Chains A and B, each alone.
Chain A
């Protein structure tokens, strides 16, 4: 058998191996979906709530969430106003997940955003949940600011 033949055989075996992995996922997913209604890969938001509020900050709308997105809408009146939210993320799937990165984006420095209780690289095992806090404080005076912020959690397979 020539070297090329061996390479071809090795690649075919690799493809067979990967096919088995894919088959395994789909079979398990199918079985689970049919009998236990649990997805093989399922990392989701299960709760988002305000846990603290100080000063004169006003919630224009009550905080809300879906399984993928949490939302808030605030109005800060005086320097020192602050609010804290607690976010719960649960791994409802069968595969352990890893928090690949957290991205916080905002367009002004008048508000301070602090995320605690969660870090890049954290492992969220199957069936487990994690709670983290988002603290927002009006720290520098501005006559008028309108800002959209976003905190993104990217989970990947461990």
Chain B
């Protein structure tokens, strides 16, 4: 009888403790989850070099800043051309992606006697890895259909043409 009472007391005590813990266990956990990346972002133009053909020459030596490349070319005769290789480097610590590349005017071929031919431009959405470089080459030349006489008769305005190339790089998040 004594043993049965001890067992009953033990069982009741366990039940009281368990129920007390259960009642006191009302709780709620709220969480803020965050992700933060730190990196150096630095995509810039690091060089520009011109290669002449024929009697083409620089009116002013080509120059560049981190975001702009500038050249001023003199074309004198049929067949003259100047090719400018513009180097772009990702000096940062994270990969960059070319989000958008635009040219203004949109086409190097129009009614103007001066033609811009863009070769080797990075493809849209191409990735420029951290530390890597890429090159965009712009060639300026006379329209090949012009004769020497027509070229000689060009006015100064006709011999002047501007081109703006814009390369927009963003962080490459694909695969991360």
Contacts and interface: CB of A to CB of B under 8 A. Distances in A.
A43 B30 CA distance: 8
Interface in A88-117: 89, 95, 97, 100, 110-111
- Give the secondary structure class of B's interface: mixed
A157 B171 contact: no
Contacts of B93: 143-144
B28 A41 contact: yes
B145 interface: no
Given A18-B19, A154-B29, A157-B27, A12 B12 contact: yes
Contacts of A111: 36, 38
B5 A8 contact: yes
B28 to A, nearest CB: 4
A150 interface: yes
A130 B20 CA distance: 29
A19 B22 CA distance: 11
A74 B37 contact: yes
A152 B84 CA distance: 57
Interface in B1-34: 2, 5-6, 8-9, 12-13, 15-16, 19-20, 22-24, 26-34
Given A155-B27, A156-B28, 14 more contacts: A7-B9, A15-B15, A15-B16, A71-B33, A73-B36, A89-B30, A145-B39, A148-B34, A149-B34, A149-B35, A150-B33, A152-B31, A155-B28, A157-B26
Sorted nearest first, the 6 A-B pairs with minimum C-beta distance are A11-B12, A145-B38, A157-B26, A151-B32, A18-B19, A43-B28
Interface of A: 4-5, 7-8, 11-12, 14-15, 18-19, 21-22, 25, 41-45, 48, 56, 58, 60, 68-77, 85, 87, 89, 95, 97, 100, 110-111, 134, 136, 138, 142-157
17 contacts: A4-B5, A8-B9, A60-B35, A68-B30, A72-B32, A73-B35, A74-B36, A76-B39, A77-B39, A144-B39, A144-B93, A149-B33, A150-B31, A150-B34, A151-B31, A154-B27, A156-B24
Interface of B: 2, 5-6, 8-9, 12-13, 15-16, 19-20, 22-24, 26-41, 93-94, 171, 173
